[in-house]
A and B are shown apart, each in its own frame.
Chain A
Amino acid sequence: EVQLVESGGGLVKPGGSLRLSCAASGFSFSNAWVSWVCQAPGKGLEWVGRIKSKANGGKTDYAAPAKGRFTISRDDSKNTVYLEMNSLKTEDTAVYYCTRGYSDSTGGYHGDDAFDIWGQGTMVTVSS
């Protein structure tokens, strides 16, 4: 079964750190571009950042709120992507999803603009 499973969420104090993991199975993980998307309670989706495949340089890009505080990395030997979150703020409280770029039926790859497989999400609560 093609799936992504997030873990590592929990309660952390403002200013603290947390590392989320996203474990993939059922597909060729090393070729996948993986994004993190968060959703604050009762709010909409927000793109956090993305890591490209190593074949595409493994480049990372981040949304403005994450830049300088969050780091995305990958370990293809473990089929896992990580989201390292530092200097956490109360407004970072959200469910964090990892998601895979979509390969369409004509061979087009949408690593930056469309996501077909999503994990179940992991909750991060930043509170004192």
Chain B
Amino acid sequence: QSALTQPPSASGSPGQSVTISCTGTSSDVGGYNYVSWYQQYPGKAPKLMIYEVTKRPSGVPDRFSGSKSGNTASLTVSGLQAEDEADYYCSSYAGSNILVFGGGTKLTVL
């Protein structure tokens, strides 16, 4: 199972919106509504930000939203804040009890 494809980097100024893509295939992203997104600061464990493509766990700001079209899922961060600067990873259920992650995107707040 190949890793999902994410852009290595993304950036935006405070207050702006940024969208990070996560491209897979019909066997993973396109085939299931089980895409999750994680935020990870350097040296720290990941934090769940989005699950089931669009849902936010309690405590995650509504500035974070998820969507999916075909084989590509997206994470949008609106009203960028300095604290949003981190690495972001998508994951997708890929059938047969397998999970696959994306390669990660480093988000820089300019």
Contact = CB atoms under 8 A, between A and B. Distances in A.
Interface of A: 35, 37, 44-47, 50, 59, 61, 63-64, 97, 99, 102, 104-105, 108, 110, 112-116, 118-121
Size bin of chain B's contact surface: 20 to 34
A118 B51 contact: no
A118 B45 CA distance: 6
Chain A facing B: main interface SS? strand
Contacts, number: 78
B48 A46 contact: no
B1 A116 contact: no
B18 interface: no
Nearest to A97: B45
A59 B96 CA distance: 12
B51 A110 contact: yes
Interface in B91-108: 91-93, 96-104
Interface in B54-89: 55, 57-58, 89
